[in-house]
């Protein structure tokens, strides 16, 4: 028998018991005639004690144990003289009578402790050692619980988990596909699913009514942002539903996860239209942990000979509460921030509403104090506030101001990771114009249904057509999105036509789905949550890598197994592939 207990369970109640434990040597300390060892396993740490006076030979063996040796010991639970009340096993130790080395260990490349000296690359190369660290393992335990609670909630609501294939053909999420050559069909390729979108819709045609799957998806995208080429979704679809049914069901899932995992009661999730999100926050995923809404100033500032404002399509700003006392240096920092190329503003205008009631702006030359008073009123600013204004092309300016707003939120401590502010964003546009290809693209995917009252606009003003599409946003991050689908062939064909597909192209790529719609397709809709992202937000982490057991690096590489890698010529020949 390798163990009677784990390293996390013996307490003062077990005094006197003879026990056997197995685990890793986390640390050892020699103190005069005694040697102490911390024995670690997944469940915790138990202190072992070897005593020179009791058993010289055993003690000598104990002293030779290196870090990360795997050992098995037998001994008696005794009370510790110096207790550690921070851990459950901290009041006891094991007085060893028998020691067996199950496996020795080389010197590990970094410390297996919460605070490690290992850099990122090293930790990824030896990820199996990194995963031994309790802080990293806890993230995986959280992930497990989240998956478990997701399955509980959805099963309780009559969803069934159905696996869909991984070797398929292109799915329409708008990214590049990963492809897999088919040996049996020379010159032909499978694509890995960007999502199970078409399959889950087909399952609705099959009458499955409620489907979900915790599923791997694959998108060959640039990995600049916090993305992974393979990631996990909680993918769901329901029949005979309208948007409201979906929002309620999945708000329920979201609340269940918060309650069961974090013990937090989430109130009703507020809703905002896409149009308002863009107008007031310059983003389709506003962080509503804090207010600081945009105020548009075209009516207030134009016509005073200040060319920058007069020429701008949009003049818009935010009011930072209590920041009027910002120093010149702090304001310069903000100016530098908005001028960074990735933000792209040409400058920043400020206006201080000082505590003494005076108003001072960086454009005093053009605006009298009386006029500035109008700015103050437009923002509802109070004494002590600082107004920050950007001007230029509407879309670009809103985007830049969004960044500035988030930066101010950080500076003012409004973006606390333990505060959770979810939001539904509704009524997304159906289409967006892609300058590069000169074509309209589906903003969500081509199976998303337009709002019935907007269908007529498809011909006249495609950009104005709203979709029955929704996103769930948490703390400024999109965590899920979905739509009510088109479920009849005519509307689906019309959609493909507007997306610039010829009938043949549409048939070649998605004929199977259009055919299915002719055999009695129920009205249906669904949603998918980014499971990695959700886990990382729950864990208060900045990157999804930390909730993935074996993640890839920014070049899409697994440095531990060294993949991707070249393959042998015979393999290439078998696949009828020539590599340049």
**Between residue 239 and residue 298, which ones bind ligand ASP under the rule CB under 6 A?**
none
Is the peptide bond prior to 564 cis by the omega test (within 30 degrees of 0)? yes
Q: Is 531 annotated as a binding residue?
A: yes
From candidates 197, 213, 239, 361, binder to ligand ASP by CB under 6 A: 197
Report d(CA 15, CA 266) in Å as an integer: 44
Report d(CA 500, CA 197) in Å as an integer: 21
- Using CB under 6 A, which of the segments 392-400, 422-430, 452-460, 476-484 binds ligand ASP? 476-484
To ligand ASP, the closest distance from the beta carbon of 469 in angstroms equals 8
Q: Is 244 annotated as a binding residue?
A: no
**Between residue 154 and residue 183, which ones bind ligand ASP under the rule CB under 6 A?**
173
Q: Is 482 in the site for ligand ASP (CB under 6 A)?
A: yes
Neighbouring C-beta atoms of residue 515, cutoff 10 Å = 12
Q: Is 485 annotated as a binding residue?
A: yes
The count of C-alpha atoms lying within 13 angstroms of the C-alpha of 56, restricted to the half-sphere facing its C-beta, is 0
From candidates 75, 450, 481, 551, binder to ligand ASP by CB under 6 A: 481
Our CB check for ligand ASP shows the closer of 126 and 447 to be 447
Q: Is 446 in the site for ligand ASP (CB under 6 A)?
A: no
Quick one: which of 433, 441, 432, 428 has its CA closest to 469?
428
To ligand ASP, the closest distance from the beta carbon of 534 in angstroms equals 14
Our CB check for ligand ASP shows the closer of 165 and 186 to be 165
Q: Is 450 in the site for ligand ASP (CB under 6 A)?
A: no
Q: Which residues pair with 75 in a beta bridge?
A: 19, 96
Report d(CA 506, CA 523) in Å as an integer: 21
From candidates 409, 429, 526, 551, binder to ligand ASP by CB under 6 A: 526
Q: Is 320 in the site for ligand ASP (CB under 6 A)?
A: no
Pairing of the two strands 439-442 and 477-484: unpaired
From candidates 46, 195, 213, 239, binder to ligand ASP by CB under 6 A: 195
- Using CB under 6 A, which of the segments 34-42, 320-328, 376-384, 522-530 binds ligand ASP? 522-530
To ligand ASP, the closest distance from the beta carbon of 396 in angstroms equals 26
Our CB check for ligand ASP shows the closer of 47 and 195 to be 195
Our CB check for ligand ASP shows the closer of 14 and 173 to be 173
Report d(CA 351, CA 372) in Å as an integer: 8
- Using CB under 6 A, which of the segments 8-16, 25-33, 457-465, 525-533 binds ligand ASP? 525-533
Q: Which DSSP string corresponds to 232-276? A: EEEEEEEES--HHHHHHHHHHHHHHHIIIII-----PPPEEEHHH
Q: Is 133 annotated as a binding residue?
A: no
Catalogue the E-assigned strands of 493-539: 524-530
Q: Is 210 annotated as a binding residue?
A: no
**Between residue 130 and residue 159, which ones bind ligand ASP under the rule CB under 6 A?**
none
From candidates 213, 483, 492, 509, binder to ligand ASP by CB under 6 A: 483
Number of residues that bind ligand ASP (CB under 6 A): 9
Q: Is 30 annotated as a binding residue?
A: no
Neighbouring C-beta atoms of residue 116, cutoff 10 Å = 16
The count of C-alpha atoms lying within 13 angstroms of the C-alpha of 307, restricted to the half-sphere facing its C-beta, is 0
Report d(CA 408, CA 411) in Å as an integer: 5
Report d(CA 220, CA 375) in Å as an integer: 47
**Between residue 71 and residue 90, which ones bind ligand ASP under the rule CB under 6 A?**
none
Pairing of the two strands 314-320 and 295-296: antiparallel
Our CB check for ligand ASP shows the closer of 113 and 173 to be 173
Q: Which residues pair with 49 in a beta bridge?
A: 36, 95
Report d(CA 291, CA 307) in Å as an integer: 30
To ligand ASP, the closest distance from the beta carbon of 202 in angstroms equals 13
To ligand ASP, the closest distance from the beta carbon of 455 in angstroms equals 19
For residue 526, the SS3 value is strand
Instruction: Give the interface with ligand ASP as residue ranges (CB under 6 A).
Output: 173, 195, 197, 481-483, 526-528
Annotated binding site for ATP: 219-221, 228, 478, 530-533
Annotated binding site for L-aspartate: 173, 219, 444, 485
């Amino acid at each position: 028998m390798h163990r009677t207990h784990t390293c996390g369970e013996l307490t003062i109640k077990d005094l006197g018991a003879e026990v056997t434990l197995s685990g890793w040597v986390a640390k050892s300390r020699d103190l005069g005639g005694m040697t102490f060892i911390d024995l670690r396993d997944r469940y915790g740490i138990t202190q072992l004690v070897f005593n020179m006076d009791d058993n010289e030979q055993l003690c000598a063996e104990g002293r030779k144990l290196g870090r990360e040796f795997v050992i098995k010991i037998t001994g008696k639970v005794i009370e510790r003289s110096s207790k550690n009340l921070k851990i459950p096993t901290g009041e006891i130790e094991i007085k060893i009578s028998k020691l067996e080395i199950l496996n020795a260990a080389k010197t590990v490349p970094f410390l297996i402790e919460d605070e490690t000296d290992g850099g990122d690359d090293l930790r990824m190369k030896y990820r199996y050692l990194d995963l031994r660290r309790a802080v990293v393992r806890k993230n995986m335990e959280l992930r497990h619980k989240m998956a478990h609670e997701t399955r509980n909630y959805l099963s309780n609501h009559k969803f069934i988990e159905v696996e869909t294939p991984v070797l398929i053909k292109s799915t329409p999420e708008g990214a590049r596909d990963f492809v897999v050559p088919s040996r049996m069909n020379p010159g032909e390729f499978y694509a890995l699913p960007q999502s199970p979108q078409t399959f889950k819709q087909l399952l609705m045609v099959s009458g499955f009514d409620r489907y979900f799957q915790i599923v791997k998806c694959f998108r060959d995208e640039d990995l600049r942002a916090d993305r992974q080429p393979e990631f996990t979704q909680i993918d769901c679809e329901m029949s005979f539903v309208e948007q409201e049914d979906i929002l309620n069901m999945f708000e329920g899932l979201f609340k269940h996860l918060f309650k069961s995992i974090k013990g937090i009661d989430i109130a009703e999730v507020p809703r905002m239209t896409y149009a308002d999100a863009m107008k007031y926050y310059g983003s389709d995923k506003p962080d509503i942990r804090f207010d600081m809404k945009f105020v548009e100033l075209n009516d207030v500032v134009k016509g005073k000979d200040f060319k920058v404002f007069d020429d701008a399509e949009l003049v818009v700003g935010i009011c930072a509460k209590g920041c009027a006392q910002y120093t010149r240096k702090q304001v310069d920092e903000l100016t530098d921030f908005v001028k960074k190329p990735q933000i792209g503003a040409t400058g920043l205008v400020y206006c201080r509403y000082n505590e003494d009631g005076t108003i001072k702006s960086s454009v005093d030359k053009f605006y009298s104090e009386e006029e500035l008073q109008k700015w103050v009123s437009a923002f509802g600013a109070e004494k002590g506030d600082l107004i920050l204004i950007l001007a230029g092309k509407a879309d670009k300016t809103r985007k830049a101001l969004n960044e500035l707003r988030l930066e101010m939120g950080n500076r003012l401590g409004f973006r606390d990771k333990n505060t959770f502010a979810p939001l539904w964003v509704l009524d997304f546009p159906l289409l967006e114009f892609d300058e590069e290809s000169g074509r309209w693209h589906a903003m969500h995917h081509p199976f998303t249904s337009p709002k019935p009252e907007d269908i007529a606009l498809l011909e006249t003003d495609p950009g104005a057509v709203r979709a029955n599409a929704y996103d769930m946003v948490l703390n400024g991050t999109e965590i899920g999105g979905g739509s009510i689908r088109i479920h009849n062939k005519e509307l689906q064909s019309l959609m493909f036509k507007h997306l610039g597909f010829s009938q043949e192209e549409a048939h070649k790529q998605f004929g199977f789905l259009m055919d299915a719609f002719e055999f009695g397709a129920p009205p249906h809709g669904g949603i998918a949550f980014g499971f990695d992202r959700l886990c990382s937000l729950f864990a208060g982490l900045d990157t999804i890598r930390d909730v993935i057991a074996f993640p890839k690096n920014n070049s899409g590489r697994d440095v531990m197994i060294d993949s991707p890698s070249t393959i042998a010529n015979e393999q290439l020949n078998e696949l009828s592939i020539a590599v340049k």
